[in-house]
Amino acid sequence: MNVYHPEELKKQLVEGIRMLENIGHIDFNGHFSVRIPKTDLIFINSAGASRSSLTVDNIITIDMAGNLVEGTGRPPNEYPLHTQIYKRRPDVQAISHTHPRWSTLFTIAKMPLRPVIIQGAVLGTIPVLSKSHSISNVEIADELAKKIEDHHIALLKAHGAVITGDSIIETFVRSVFLEENAQRQYMASQLGYAHSLEDEEIVSMSKFIWQPKNIQKVWDYHLSKLKN
């Protein structure tokens, strides 16, 4: 039986955010949240805290209306992005909002991202929210929540990405695979047409790649590169 330790969950969230900043998926903006088990509350990084030097003291607790429940600071302006998805998707346990360079290029060019490397096989179909607005009100957050309803990832036009998962680790790894696939697709397109994996390759590679030991290996690799 898993026992919930709030400080450990906060620490893992801090690690995920710092790693996303370290690999360039977020900068002075971007946010990552996780459900607090058996509650209607979430942990999320405070808006004003530096993502590169984040500590557990910068993790705040908010409710599904964005109200501060515990901690110091205020939630990110785009907190509805998190709360509205959580309300609609009880299966989702963690959400990151990133501003990835390569993936965002495809929304600007209006070109679909396709699985071109084996890591891309686990991403599934990736819908695009056709508005480049900040997701800072409930109305547009609901639109996003509907868009991502049957998917793990959604892209926001000329803005960024939203990644979901069953855990902080799973959500982080999906962000890594999203950018790796986008970069390879872009680079291959400079040589000619970037061919997708075949359907049978997507099925077999997805099962092979998306295993707990492989997911943990990606997390551990990036964690080892963080400066203390």
Cβ atoms 140, 133 nearer than 8 A: yes
| pTM (two decimals) | 0.96
Tokens of 31: 């946010």
Residue 202 CA to residue 109 CA, distance in Å, equals 25
Backbone angles phi and psi of 59, in degrees to 5: -95, 125
Q: What is the pLDDT along the chain (228 residues), one digit of tens a residue?
A: 456 799 999 999 999 999 999 999 999 999 999 999 999 999 999 999 999 999 999 999 999 999 999 999 999 999 999 999 999 999 999 999 999 999 999 999 999 999 999 999 999 999 999 999 999 999 999 999 999 999 999 999 999 999 999 999 999 999 999 999 999 999 999 999 999 999 999 999 999 999 999 999 999 999 999 976
SS3 content of the chain, % helix, strand, coil (to 5): 45, 15, 40
The CATH code of domain 6-224 reads: 3.40.225.10
Question: Where do the domains of the chain lie?
Answer: 6-224
Q: At which residue do the structure tokens 């599934």 appear?
A: 124
Spatial CB neighbours of 227, under 8 Å, sequence gap ≥ 6: none
Is residue 44 helix, strand or coil?
strand
